[in-house]
């Protein structure tokens, strides 16, 4: 292992954006640490990468064990320059089933904070580094279809803003990535989606945002304009439009 090689770890690397970003970073010459729940999927991804990588099974629902495992992965890689926290789940939970709400909070909010804590603590000891959190455009408004998902993404973005404030006098960067609609399992089966991009396209946007040292990056960038307007809609108008969309989305599609 080259001690001077650039190193990145991706939490949630087994599918979607995380998988595509792992391939992009590997192609750019990074030693990549692949972490996630499914060891089988991580090993399959490892076989596809052009460069060197390491695999570590990490389930962020168990924060104590996940913290220990991430620290071990950093040690085995002899350090890390970029930590990407991409682990996330989404349930369409209009029936307000508690275990779905709990799962999204555990993974998206609590799990994120645990992994970010390890990363920031390590970067402070090193004196530099880059924490990348995959939030969402959903962080800006609530969702009756999936209350905890949007709320958890708001948690991620606000948490990273606090970290940027805390680390402002250091060489540590905190990058808040806010994707729009990406062609992953989370968006499949939904109607009316626009501007959908591939995970590979998203990975290029994210890599460029990291290289440019952006604090907040919408993926693609035009989502920033869309959300500027959406955030300013009065709540009653937003709720009316969202309910109409849900009613339309539930209607069966005709061939």
Dihedral of alpha carbons 175, 107, 200, 184, sign: negative
In order of 43, 45, 147, the CA distances from 40 in angstroms are 5, 9, 31
Place of tokens 């800006």: 140
Say how many C-beta atoms besides its own lie within 10 A of residue 100's C-beta.
19
What is the C-alpha separation between 143 and 93, in angstroms, rounded? Answer: 10
Place of tokens 């962080």: 139
What is the C-alpha separation between 95 and 148, in angstroms, rounded? Answer: 12
Nearest Cα to Cα of residue 111 among 73, 59, 75, 146: 59
Q: Which residues are catalytic?
A: 149
Q: Count the alpha carbons within 13 Å of 124 in the hemisphere toward its beta carbon.
A: 12
What three-state secondary structure class fits 50? coil
Beta-sheet strand order (sheet of 53-57): 53-57, 31-36, 7-11, 82-85, 128-134, 171-179, 216-219
What is the C-alpha separation between 173 and 3, in angstroms, rounded? Answer: 22
């Amino acid at each position: 292992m080259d001690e001077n090689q650039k190193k990145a770890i991706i939490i949630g690397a087994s599918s979607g954006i995380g998988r595509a970003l792992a391939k992009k970073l590997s192609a750019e010459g990074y030693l990549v640490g692949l972490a996630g729940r499914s060891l089988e999927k991580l090993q399959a991804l490892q076989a596809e990468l052009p460069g060197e990588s390491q695999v570590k099974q990490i389930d962020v629902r168990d924060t104590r064990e996940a913290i220990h495992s991430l620290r071990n992965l950093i040690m085995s890689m002899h350090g890390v320059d970029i930590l990407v926290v991409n682990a996330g789940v989404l349930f369409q939970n209009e029936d307000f089933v508690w275990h779905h709400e709990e799962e999204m909070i555990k993974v998206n909010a609590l799990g994120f904070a645990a992994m970010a804590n390890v990363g920031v603590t390590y970067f402070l000891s090193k004196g530099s580094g880059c924490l990348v959190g995959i939030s969402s455009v959903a962080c800006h408004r609530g969702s009756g279809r999936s209350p905890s998902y949007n709320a958890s993404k708001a948690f991620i973005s606000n948490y990273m803003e606090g970290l940027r404030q805390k680390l402002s006098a250091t060489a540590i960067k905190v990058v808040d990535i806010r994707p729009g609609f990406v062609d992953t399992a989370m968006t499949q089966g939904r109607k009316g989606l626009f501007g959908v991009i591939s995970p590979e396209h998203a990975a290029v946007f994210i890599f460029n945002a990291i290289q440019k040292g952006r604090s907040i990056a919408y993926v693609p960038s035009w989502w920033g304009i869309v959300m500027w307007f959406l955030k300013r809609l009065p709540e009653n108008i937003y709720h009316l439009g969202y309910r109409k969309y849900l009613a339309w989305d539930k209607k069966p599609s005709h061939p």
